[in-house]
Amino acid sequence: MDFEKQARELVSKMTLEERASQLRFDAPAIKHLDIPRYHWWNEALHGVARAGTATMFPQAIGLAAMFDPEEMHKIGDIVATEARAKYNAYSEEEDRDIYKGLTLWSPNVNIFRDPRWGRGQETYGEDPYLTSVLGVEFIKGMQGDGKYLKAAACAKHFAVHSGPEELRHEFDAVVSDKDLWETYLPAFEACVKEAKVEGVMGAYNRTNGEPCCGSKLLMQDILKDKWHFDGYFTSDCWAIKDFHENHQVTTTATESVALALKMGCDINCGNIYLKVMQAYQEGLVTEEDITEAAVHAMRTRLRLGLFADDCEYDKIPYDVIACKEHREEAIKTAENSVVLLKNEGILPLSKDLKKLALIGPNADSRWPLIANYHGTAPKYVTVLDGIEEVAPDVRIHYSEGCHTMLDRVERLALADDRVAEAVAVAKTAGLAVVCVGLDERYEGEQQDNGNRFGGGEVSMADKPTTALPDSQIHMLEAVIKTGVDIVIVNMTGSAVELKWLQDTPNVKAIVQGWYPGGEGGLAIARILFGDVNPSGKLPITFYESAEGMPSFTDYAMKGRTYRYMEVPALYPFGYGLSYTDYEYSDLKTETGEGGVKVTVTVENKGSWDGDEVVELYMKDLDSEYEVRNHRLAAFERVALKAGEKKTVTLHLGEKAFQIVDDGGNRRKDGSRFAVYVGGSQPDDRSVELLGKKPLSVEIEY
């Protein structure tokens, strides 16, 4: 269908004032055209958010740890299905409020370049290739392949945006052409060109001097002219007023309106587009500027079938929301996201244990399940709940141990008021699972405008340090001192300092549980007791500490992430243990038209069924422009029963053999390439932790 033509015809019937009104995020009804009110702002980062009950998947960073594009597609489809069901039901009641539309402002494909960034949990990690592949499949699943869009995804925040949160309204992210095109733009380009994402959201900050929601370079030269984006562009919420209030690139509100509108910002999340007509009267914008933005807005609504009688999604019933099938899928994704970081033979735990101490602020709390941008789960299963379900005959001695952040649980008590209890239950049981970490109150988005929550006594955004909070360190030190064997379950959306726990003899295992979703405690329990074999891999680097890292405000990639870091990691990107052992053999390459086919045999040599993520890394051996270390170029998740072997085929297209030079040009610049295939990176630390090297071969292409 020619949605562009339909949009132009529809907009031609509107007055100029009506066209301007449709650029607001809370677009009013136009009764004489039978256009109902529509609210553009909706969230669906890991399930439909902020609009009542919905299936709650693990936070995005946990989803990334699955390394599973097929599953990301399925999640996107489930999210869109539930968003449609809600939209259909709410529209029948004429409820067209915020968070109830079909323009879902997800995924966040920014690069998690610094572990201190609070919003890094919303991303797919630190690697541009992984982020691109997962983002594309999530969008394709969400938008569907029907006559109309099932839902309209939105790639955000365009571009070069990853903290610091407290400075975002005034910050200028200065970046080289090489880093821009090699690191910060590839995922957005893939979302636009491969996934045909319907929406793009601009970031709050400036990039190289231009505010991202009014940037000629980003919005005109790259997004429209180079990538031929034909969806709608929205500002981040209240970002346009930053033009004159904080960035000071304009002097008045109407000048800010004009800059955004002329650069191609169609929808304003905020209220400054209430001044569009004033900007028109002042001669700052033209009728054509307003009309074009209105056409883009209506084109998206038409693509969603919102004015159609034959939309295939109008009959999706309400009872699909948080149905059994969707909830089981969410638990499965949580299981597949958990990363086993350390295991000295203690895991899996036996269900014949007589007793177990379960300690820590995240052991029986809903907070670490939900992450930010969350909906309401129909059921919450904490780690304590999960263990009681999975191992009902084990006597659990539970202690909160400490507050997540504060120095005491009870306001009138002395500091460390739950530590003695933690010690007592550890001694009583003789074995302790200690659940530590953070939650959305302590790492997340800057709490302003529409992003406030009732966080209680402490609220943070970025982390001032990558260390665990002092309250938890004090508790851990006391429990460690008992000498009992300890399993750590770390629930965070980012890397924290775990080296001291890795090096502690009676800390026998460390599990990274992320923010695992509404019933994620069940998934963690199933991992701990061996119902599920852990298979997640880290989508970010766990550094030994933040000491010596580049400044948080430095956007150069030098010294950052696995591609450019200059010191050994604690736990490298791509790393993750299993209860079984995978052996790689018979690595072969075959050069053909359009790229290279790589095959490798993977065998499950252990006694546990499991999933392995086959990772392929590359390095151009000739080019001075290649990344410092190596880069992920292909991967595949494969299921293998105990004793089973499979041949896995990976494809390297022309782009895999290209570098990005200092001018930002992507091109081929060498003929000799190292290819590494295995269950990890080829770095020394991964080899040390796993006791094996990936297979490698040098090829010419």
Mean pLDDT across the chain: 97
Question: Which pLDDT does position 294 carry in this prediction?
Answer: 98
Residue 25 has pLDDT above 60, yes or no: yes
Burial class (CB in 10 A: 0-12, 13-18, 19+), 53: middle
Task: Convert the pLDDT of each residue in 167-206 to its tens digit.
Answer: 999 999 999 999 999 999 999 999 999 999 999 999 999 9
363-384 mean pLDDT: 98
Contact 574, 503 (CB under 8 A): no
Structure tokens at 479: 């429990």
Contact 42, 330 (CB under 8 A): no
Question: Which pLDDT does position 447 carry in this prediction?
Answer: 73
Question: Which pLDDT does position 390 carry in this prediction?
Answer: 98
Residue 87 has pLDDT above 90, yes or no: yes
The one-character DSSP state at 626 is S
**Whole-angstrom Cα distance, residue 222 to residue 220?**
6
Catalytic residue among 77, 114, 179, 236: 236
Task: Convert the pLDDT of each residue in 415-467 to its tens digit.
Answer: 999 999 999 999 999 999 999 999 999 999 987 544 444 344 455 799 999 99
668-695 mean pLDDT: 97
19-34 mean pLDDT: 98
The one-character DSSP state at 252 is S
325-347 mean pLDDT: 98
> 194 — phi, psi (to 5°)?
-95, -40
C-alpha 571 chain-centroid distance: 19
Closest by alpha carbon to 696, among 606, 587, 610, 598? 587
Question: Which pLDDT does position 612 carry in this prediction?
Answer: 98
Question: Which pLDDT does position 547 carry in this prediction?
Answer: 87
Active-site residue, 236 included = yes
**Whole-angstrom Cα distance, residue 215 to residue 276?**
18
Q: What angle do CA 124, 126, 131 make, to 5 degrees?
A: 40
**Whole-angstrom Cα distance, residue 211 to residue 221?**
14
Question: Which pLDDT does position 548 carry in this prediction?
Answer: 87
The one-character DSSP state at 689 is H
- 3-class SS letters over 176-233: CHHHHHHHHCHHHHHHHHCCCCCEEEECCCEECCEEHHHCHHHHHHHHHHHCCCCCEE
Question: Which pLDDT does position 454 carry in this prediction?
Answer: 39
Instruction: Walk me through the domains of the chain, giving residue ranges and CATH numbers.
Output: 3-309 (3.20.20.300), 324-537 (3.40.50.1700), 582-700 (2.60.40.10)
The one-character DSSP state at 245 is I
C-alpha 227 chain-centroid distance: 23
Strand 631-640 to strand 610-620: parallel, antiparallel, or no bridges (unpaired)? antiparallel
- Band (pLDDT 50/70/90 cuts) for residue 217 is very high
Task: Convert the pLDDT of each residue in 144-155 to its tens digit.
Answer: 999 999 999 999
Beta-carbon neighbour count of residue 174 at 10 Å?
A: 15
Question: What is the SS3 assignment for 430?
Answer: coil
Task: Convert the pLDDT of each residue in 488-530 to its tens digit.
Answer: 999 999 999 999 999 999 999 999 999 999 999 999 999 999 9
**Whole-angstrom Cα distance, residue 368 to residue 514?**
8
Structure tokens at 68: 């599973």
Residue 645 has pLDDT above 70, yes or no: yes
Question: Which pLDDT does position 546 carry in this prediction?
Answer: 87
Residue 592 has pLDDT above 60, yes or no: yes
Contact 370, 54 (CB under 8 A): no
User: Percent of the chain beyond pLDDT 90?
Assistant: 97
Question: What is the SS3 assignment for 328?
Answer: helix
Sheet containing strand 172-173, edge to edge, reads 172-173, 206-207, 210-211
- Band (pLDDT 50/70/90 cuts) for residue 469 is very high
Closest by alpha carbon to 233, among 148, 296, 142? 296
Question: Which pLDDT does position 456 carry in this prediction?
Answer: 45
**Whole-angstrom Cα distance, residue 47 to residue 371?**
11
